[in-house]
Structure formats: C-alpha cells, structure tokens
Amino acid sequence: AQTVTQSQPEMSVQEAETVTLSCTYDTSESDYYLFWYKQPPSRQMILVIRQEAYKQQNATENRFSVNFQKAAKSFSLKISDSQLGDAAMYFCAYRSLFISNFGNEKLTFGTGTRLTIIP
C-alpha cells in the first residue's frame, strides 16, 4: 500500500517570501500522480498543482511549483511571493495512474502542513 508523509505539521513564512513544504511517499508503482491540495479555513479542498510521475519536468502554476524527485520519492511544494491568502492547510496526495476495481481508485493523503503567513 502507498503511504504519504508530511513531516512538517506547521510552517510559517513572512509575506512576500518563499516557503517550501515537504512531502515524501512510498510506492512500488512506477506510474502515478501526485497532487498538492490547499484547505483554507472554509475547509474546501482546492487543487493547487498536479504532477505526473512519467513527466520529468516539474509542474508549475503561477507562484506554485514543485520539486519532484522520483528516485528519492520526494515531492515538495514551493510557494513564491507568499500572500495572506495562501494561509491554509496543505495536503500532499498520491494516486495510481491506472484505475481498476482493485482499490487503487483512491487518493492517499498525508497528514497536512498548516501554513501561516506573517504580515
């Protein structure tokens, strides 16, 4: 079974600075997806960024980028020019590439990192 580990329960960053959130995972599969989701105080889960394991290029979405190290099974999220609206819980998640009826349909989540933005 796959596992996802987020070793930083809480992080803080000064507004306009850059912060990196860590995520490691364990899997025996070679093809999969990795995601970062944001959960603000409203508690709605919002997709931040997605990475396909077969792609070597790191995904970017505006101020958000990832550092995907497949061999090390590491998937960190970098937030540049941090804004007050970035304050939230951030969850790293794993999903198998191919979906079948054998239990690989689900997203496996880490325990989250609470990010605080200091004005």
7 touches 22 (CB < 8 A): yes
Closest approach, Cβ 24 to other proteins, in A, equals 14
**Integer Cα distance of 48 and 58 in angstroms:** 14
Binding positions for other proteins, rule: CB under 8 A: 4, 33, 35, 37, 42-47, 50, 91, 93, 97-99, 101, 103, 105-112
Q: Which is nearer to other proteins, 35 or 82 (CB)?
A: 35
- Answer yes or no: are the C-beta atoms of 97 and 33 closer than 8 Å: yes
Residue placing its CB nearer to other proteins in the complex, 49 or 82: 49
Q: Which is nearer to other proteins, 53 or 82 (CB)?
A: 53
- CA distance linking residue 18 with residue 53, whole number of Å: 25
